Chains A and B, each alone.
Chain A
Amino acid sequence: MKHLSRYRRHKAAAPLLLLLALLAIGATYSVASAATSSEMTAADRSVLIEEGRQIFLKGCSSCHGLNAEGQVAPSLVGVGAASVDFQVGTGRMPMADMSTQAMRKEPIYDAAETAAVAAYVASLAPGPEIPAESSLNYERDGNTAEGGELFRNNCAMCHNFAGQGGALTQGKYAPTLMGVEPKHIYEAMVTGPQSMPVFSDKTITPEEKLSIIKWIKAAEKEPNLGGASLGRVGPVTEGLLGWVLGLGMLIGVAVWLAMKAK
């Protein structure tokens, strides 16, 4: 101790002490918070589930049934927390009206309420879980080229080759993937919301799913080098613009050419 106290007036002593203190506090906090988050007590969990049940009864049960057994809307037994997190987190549920398809909109419930409903629905029967933040590091674990190949084979037929979305039958559509949270893309692949089928973890592994997300994020950032992208939906808008605007301008010029000056 004596030889340590000799350095107590050293000019590096104060900053070093401060650093040590910060590290100690940080370490204690992270251990403590890790303990609380990963080991949510059974009591906490049942409180959360009860909270979720209350929200469910108010906001969801009129269509999905008092016990989520399904009524006008499908049963939610076994759809899992991931399904709830996707549908409620993207604002699709609760639906604004009984239209063909639930549209993406501003979420009605906040993150805590969504988590509570997810916990309640997950408690009914096991189903896909919400992917942990740490398992969604697509920048590290994904491969853009592989993701592109997977996307063209599995996603492009509905969501368009550039992820812009497209039409299905009878007014249904595949939504655009631009600006969608990576977590929600992942959950959609695992749960198969609405018209979308499920893409199993065995046929498209979690790493491959991250590759798809990485490719979508790369497509989002893709600059339009060749001028206006016209929605990147292919020849339809290009043709429309060519015929309407291009030909319209040519007709206008032709009329002006033949007009006699006053």
Chain B
Amino acid sequence: MSKEIEAIKDPGLPAHVHRKADTDPAAANRAERQVATLFGISALGTVLLIVSYIFVPDDLFIFIPVMGNQNAHQLGLGLGMAISLFFIGMGAIHWAKTLMPDTEVVAQRHEFRSPDSDRKEFVEAVKSGASASGLGRRSLIKRSLGAALGLSALSPLLLLRDLGPLPGKELEKTTWKSGTYLVTDPGNRRIKASDLEVGAVAQVLPEIADPEHRKLSDIAKDAVLLIRLRPQEFNLEADKLAMTHDGIIAFSKICSHMGCAVALYEQQTKHLLCPCHQSTFDVTRAAKVIFGPSARPLPQLDITIDNEGYLVARQPFSEPVGPSFWERNSQ
């Protein structure tokens, strides 16, 4: 064991290799010209920037392969600035690497502990500062400063309140009531069951008195997707089937996983896809989850028609819509 360790010898530092420019004046001149060229390119970049700023109209578009149609004005500004800055740096590095002295210097680390004289000086500076401020004598300043500092610590504490208040029952309620009409979004027009062909979808919201001022926070819970299939395509339990009307089925559009709008309806497969995490719901089986991270089917809205044939909600949603939350009773 110990023999093996001894077998590996310290190879020491590699020998210092001189650069060509150190020994060959022609190479040094070449390096100098290279550095000058790099700085020259940088200068051209600045010229490009100035020319683009002054002479290229800001509504001129030019076609550049791969990148497509580009605004020539902005492209000139950006490229000009990038070239001017990048090549200054590149020239400086090339200069340092090829021409500046390459002697290797060893710098010893000094001790961590400051010298005693420095330490003494520091303590004296603190003491003289303390006596100059007069905090020991002027108690009014001391107390008011203490109060100000203490109170200032309250403000971040106060802002913590914005983490609350708890939503209470707010997340479980939607605008849908028994007898709420389904209206188009946008447009706010009531929908007749006969308006939808087989294979049709419609984005709907509950009818409210003042649709101009619908709150976004309400839309985020109320949005519903209406889909019409052939009634024989359903594969539903009796209670779920009773919630449909003549092949028309309504689901909350808010994904039960993370709350994205689920509305990618594939008419041929009857699948609803959530664009965020690919949860896939089977419309014919009451939005049963057939793929993806979602844990629950989309809540189904119980719909029927009124005397004139307009679609109307028979009951509110029977469960909270959207993703799980802390207080949700997930039965």
User: A: which residues have CB within 8 A of B?
Assistant: 146, 149-150, 153-154, 157-158, 166, 168-169, 172, 174, 192, 194-200, 202-205, 208, 223-229, 256-257, 259-262
Contact = CB atoms under 8 A, between A and B. Distances in A.
A197 B197 CA distance: 10
Nearest to B96: A261
A196 B200 CA distance: 9
Given A203-B184, A261-B98, A154 B275 contact: no
15 contacts: A153-B185, A157-B263, A158-B264, A169-B266, A169-B278, A195-B268, A197-B200, A197-B227, A200-B195, A200-B197, A205-B187, A223-B69, A229-B68, A256-B93, A261-B97
A168 B19 contact: no
Given A192-B267, A202-B195, A203-B195, A166 B273 contact: no
A205 B189 CA distance: 11
A224 B71 contact: yes
A83 B195 CA distance: 19
A227 B72 CA distance: 9
B241 interface: no
Tell me whether chain B's interface is mostly helix, strand or loop, or mixed.
mixed
B251 to A, nearest CB: 13
B53 interface: no
A247 B202 CA distance: 45
Given A154-B203, A257-B93, 7 more contacts: A150-B186, A192-B267, A195-B268, A197-B267, A203-B187, A204-B202, A223-B61
A199 B200 CA distance: 6
A188 to B, nearest CB: 12
A228 B200 contact: no
A225 B61 CA distance: 9
A204 B203 CA distance: 10
A208 B203 CA distance: 14
A126 to B, nearest CB: 12
B291 interface: yes
A208 B187 contact: yes
B203 A153 contact: yes
A169 B185 contact: no
A235 to B, nearest CB: 13
A225 B59 CA distance: 9
B57 interface: no
Given A169-B273, A228-B68, A262 B267 contact: no
Nearest to A223: B61
Contact of A197 (B191, B195, B201): B201
Nearest to A256: B93
Interface string B195-210: 1111111110000000
Contacts of A150: 186
A174 B265 CA distance: 11
Contacts of B211: none
A226 B20 CA distance: 46
B180 interface: no
Nearest to B93: A257
Given A198-B197, A257-B93, A153 B186 contact: yes
A224 B69 contact: yes
Contacts of B187: 203-205, 208
Contacts of A226: 74
A225 B78 CA distance: 12
B271 A169 contact: yes
B149 interface: no
Nearest to B268: A195
Contacts of A205: 187
Nearest to A224: B69
B245 interface: no
Taking each of B67, B97, B191, B264, which has the highest tally of chain A beta carbons within 10 Å of its own beta carbon? B264
Contacts of A157: 261, 263-264, 275
Given A154-B203, A195-B269, A203 B191 contact: yes
B273 to A, nearest CB: 6
B178 interface: no
Given A197-B200, A203-B195, A203-B196, A168 B264 contact: yes
A118 B300 CA distance: 39
A116 B264 CA distance: 34
A225 B74 contact: yes
Closest 9 CB pairs of A and B: A202-B195, A198-B200, A203-B202, A261-B97, A197-B201, A195-B266, A228-B67, A197-B267, A157-B263
Taking each of B67, B200, B203, which has the highest tally of chain A beta carbons within 10 Å of its own beta carbon? B200
B79 to A, nearest CB: 11
Interface string B5-30: 00000000000010111000000000
B70 interface: yes
Contact of B97 (A174, A194, A260): A260
Contacts of A260: 17, 97
B267 A224 contact: no
Contacts of B203: 153-154
